[in-house]
């Protein structure tokens, strides 16, 4: 299949590499980091010089970008070059309100759209074992599933456009809540004189043990505070989108606002570009390291 890819960064590179492995005809576009683009071209991808050129080379266009504003901007630039043969697959974690508007606008032109945010990180993307949370029509889901199978092992259809992003935001809210709790727990342990390695070892035997706990604490015990490679700024963005949709549905909790405050504080203090696992550091968490 002819696939275009916008956003071959930390996640997108692994996804795109697996599309090539699966035999798809892949076209990519320049990214602010040239290394993944050059690597994919060396593996057999073509590089488009513009979104118009990319649209001309592909039937399926995958977006893996940072937020809803960027999704909107990319679709705006693509719009005049799209036909009824195109399908847009948005794998970004985005705002469901924006998703629904884009889907409606594209449908009026005969262009199919699916929101297909992902579970898993850069390692899972490289290994081709991501999960896809898909929103869109049954027909669109059937069309895109063979593309998603190149980098996903679990693919679920959650309903019409916007459903995938709502489900993903619920998923990410739970993860960001866990991360905030794990960081707070290990900061408390530090202050209480509890040995991190011993605590982590016994946690492996109980209900506390999770992928989030492992990704944060296991590397930290070796001095690596960057084990969970997802930025605090992106965490703030995702919890913010979650709060917006929960507010609209009358579902917001006090806990959700407390979780949001953790990430807002970290970003306000200049830590937005650090990874989530840095919250285990008292300075990043906004706590007194000498307390």
For residue 145, what is the DSSP state? H
Dihedral of CA atoms 92, 98, 101, 107 in degrees, nearest 10, equals: -10
List the catalytic residue out of 2, 145, 168, 287.
168
Distances, alpha carbon 177 to alpha carbons 118, 169, 256, 258, 260, in Å: 18, 12, 8, 9, 9
Q: Do 118 and 131 contact (CB within 8 A), yes or no?
A: yes
Unique residue bearing structure tokens 């960081």 = 183
In sequence order, what are the residues at sequence separation of 6 or more whose Cβ sits closer than 8 angstroms to the Cβ of residue 38? none
Q: Do 149 and 176 contact (CB within 8 A), yes or no?
A: no
Residues in the chain: 291
Is 204 tagged catalytic? no
Q: Do 93 and 238 contact (CB within 8 A), yes or no?
A: yes
Question: How far is 15 from 262, CA to CA, in rounded Å?
Answer: 31
Question: How far is 117 from 132, CA to CA, in rounded Å?
Answer: 6
Structure tokens at 166: 């709502």
For residue 224, what is the DSSP state? -
Q: What is the DSSP string of 142-177?
A: HHHHHHHTTTEEEEEE-SSTTHHHHHHHHHHHHHHH
Specify the 3-state DSSP secondary structure of 118: strand
Question: How far is 112 from 114, CA to CA, in rounded Å?
Answer: 7
Structure tokens at 43: 């593996």
Active site residues: 168
């Amino acid at each position: 299949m002819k696939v275009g890819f916008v956003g071959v960064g930390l996640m997108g590179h692994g996804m795109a590499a697996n599309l090539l492995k699966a035999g798809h005809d892949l076209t990519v576009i320049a990214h602010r980091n040239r290394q993944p683009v050059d690597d994919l071209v060396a593996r057999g991808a073509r590089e488009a010089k513009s979104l118009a050129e990319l649209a001309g080379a592909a039937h399926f266009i995958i977006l893996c970008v940072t937020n809803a504003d960027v999704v909107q901007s990319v679709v705006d630039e693509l719009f005049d070059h799209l036909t009824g043969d195109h399908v847009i697959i948005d794998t970004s974690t985005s705002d469901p309100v924006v998703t629904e508007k884009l889907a409606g606008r594209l449908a009026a032109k005969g262009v199919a759209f699916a929101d297909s945010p992902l579970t898993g990180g850069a390692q899972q993307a490289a290994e081709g074992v991501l999960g896809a949370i898909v929103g869109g029509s049954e027909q669109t889901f059937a069309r895109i599933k063979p593309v998603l199978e190149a980098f996903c092992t679990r693919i679920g259809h959650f309903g019409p456009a916007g459903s995938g992003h709502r489900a993903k935001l619920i998923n990410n809210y739970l993860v960001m809540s866990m991360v905030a709790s794990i960081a707070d727990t290990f900061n408390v342990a530090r202050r209480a004189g509890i040995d991190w390695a011993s605590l982590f070892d016994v946690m492996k035997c109980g209900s506390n043990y999770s992928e989030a706990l492992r990704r944060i604490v296991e590397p930290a015990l070796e001095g690596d505070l960057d084990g969970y490679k997802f930025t605090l700024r992106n965490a703030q963005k995702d919890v913010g989108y979650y709060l917006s949709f929960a507010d609209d549905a009358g579902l917001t909790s006090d806990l959700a606002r407390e979780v949001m405050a953790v990430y807002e504080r970290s970003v306000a203090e200049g830590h937005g570009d650090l990874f989530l696992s840095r919250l285990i550091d008292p300075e990043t968490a906004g706590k007194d390291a000498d307390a």
